[in-house]
Amino acid sequence: MLTVSEWIISALLMVVAVVMIVIVLFQETDDDGMSGAIGGSSSAYDSYLGKNEGRTTNAKLARFTKIMATIFFVFVLVLDVLTVLD
């Protein structure tokens, strides 16, 4: 039977997992695919400011993903230790 602390850590683990999935889905890919390799793209984001803004947002999302992955890993370890000690 799970204790209250194990239920709390499990719930937090699920929340962190869902947040990580959402963050990863918001990240843009750096690959233009075949269209970028052959003819390039002509979107409004090709300007200098557009490219820097995208990189900044992606850098923040990547950093937040790393933080959430670390928190996820710690929660899994804590849950494992609580389960073993029980």
Question: What would the pLDDT profile of 24-55 be if each residue is shown by its tens digit?
Answer: 999 887 666 566 556 555 555 555 655 666 56
For residue 7, the model assigns a pLDDT of 94
Lowest mean pLDDT among 7-16, 39-48, 75-84: 39-48
pLDDT at 83 over 60: yes
Residue carrying the six token digits 């370890």 = 77
**pTM (2 d.p.):** 0.69
Angle (CA) 24 61 14, round 5° = 50
